[in-house]
Structure 1
Amino acid sequence: MACNSCAKPFTLFRKQKGCPNCGFIFCSKCLEHKIFVQKLNEEAKVCMKCAKTDNQCEPRKVEPPDAYYKRIGARTNQMYNSAAGNSKDQEIAERLSKLKQGKTEHQLKPEEEIAKRLQHLKSNFPSTSDNQLQLRLANLRGVPLSVVQSKPSLPAPDLRSEQEQADDLLKQYMEQTKIDNTYKDEFDTLVNDMEARLQKIKGSNSIKLSSSQEQQSENEDEETVKKIIEKVKAETFLEDQVSSTTNDELPFCEICNEDAKMRCLGCRYLFCKRCFMDHKDDEDGCDKYELYRPPKGTYTD
């Protein structure tokens, strides 16, 4: 194949393009004249012959270029020379011409073709119900059909206002403080009861003992009481420390959940270095920090 204007063959870098007005094939360099094309209802680049006919304001007749006639004439001469005595080729050519004429006469309109294609697509559409699709999905997942048909239960939306949410949080905090106070009162009463009982035991034994034994027993009782009180206090301190380390604080950054490297002295939150620089604020007192090391036994990546 070659260009109909410059007769240069088409290659990878010289691609063929059709003239939007006459429809013949040209290269991109030969389609350099821009005119208004009625078929497209807009301006487009056409060949030189179409541009000349447009400038002359003559009735537009689609005529092929001269190179096209030369090429067609050379081909027809070759065909006639090669098949001069072959009548079958003439019959095939006549039948092809008749088929082309019949196709142009009985050609359907674009709207009728689109409607016919849509009707054909609708007739071939597979009729599969929702139950069959759900059954196939259950078989693929390996679960019963009731699991696929059941709708996921979503949590109910919180319809409370901001004031109601604040009041509920305040009530929860007050109940927690009340529980802590009752626990502390019970602990104090137990300690006082133990001290009173020890004082009674110490007073009853002091009557029977001599003066030297009395001093020894008093010292021993005082030491035992001190040991018991210190032991109880140490146990409560360890419980508070374990609960605070296990439940309240995790050794991760408050923003990106990476390993914490420093603690803000203003808000006492844990941050990594990058998130602390984003969080840093002089007005809120969050401009100073201290290095943080996670306690032993905590989970870190």
Structure 2
Amino acid sequence: MTHLCSSCKQIIVNNSLRKSCGSCQQIFCSKCLYQRIAVPKLNYQMQEVCTPCYHSIGTQMMLQKPPKGFTQRLEQQQPQQQQVRMPVNQIDPETKALEERLQKLRMDFPSSSSTTAAAAGGVANTPDDLLRQMNDELSIQNNDQNALADRLRILHETMPAATPDTVILPKPKEEVADDDEDEEFPWCTVCNDNATKRCLDCDELFCESCVKKIHRQSSYKNHQLESYKPSAKAKKKYNY
């Protein structure tokens, strides 16, 4: 007997590729049925469901009232971002420094009356003024580069030559392992309450209530469970 996939409408010839949604029980092929979620009407058993059921159940679980202290945990994980606002009238430091250098250059090398007037007003009114300002900026940059080259030349002439005995290389910093990336949340996978059990087969954390609901079924009874206790650092960090 052949079946038709409810999603892609392709005929499922091989029965091994035919799957049934754990929520709506419709028939799907293996390509369209691959997402897993805890189904509330099946006592929160982990089932493979179709995409509409996956989004519907996920939305339903998001609209549920979170457990006590869960909102506080989330707020503790979000660092408070302090917004630094610059005053409206404050000038950028780089722009201010450039203006001071131009003003000093104008005082050292006085130019024509039109340039002086433009400098007093702070605005270049003619193309000639713009060219003069551009030349002033270029001359400042060239003077700085020449001064830096002279300093480097003097430094090389006065300092002794570097040898393996005189050069001390910095020691490499020890890499500190970042355990925060691998640290897991000590909460139940289903209800986000404090986890007390770990299922080795599901590889998930559960609270006492959810582990009983899910593992009471025959298909989950053979799963191996172990007690779970978070580290002292995780307890303090996540308000366990």
TM over 0.5: no
Give the structure with the larger helix fraction: 1
Give the structure with the larger strand fraction: 2
Please state which band the TM-score falls in when normalised by the shorter chain: under 0.3
Return the TM-score normalized by structure 1: 0.21
Return the TM-score normalized by structure 2: 0.26
Structure possessing the higher radius of gyration over alpha carbons: 1
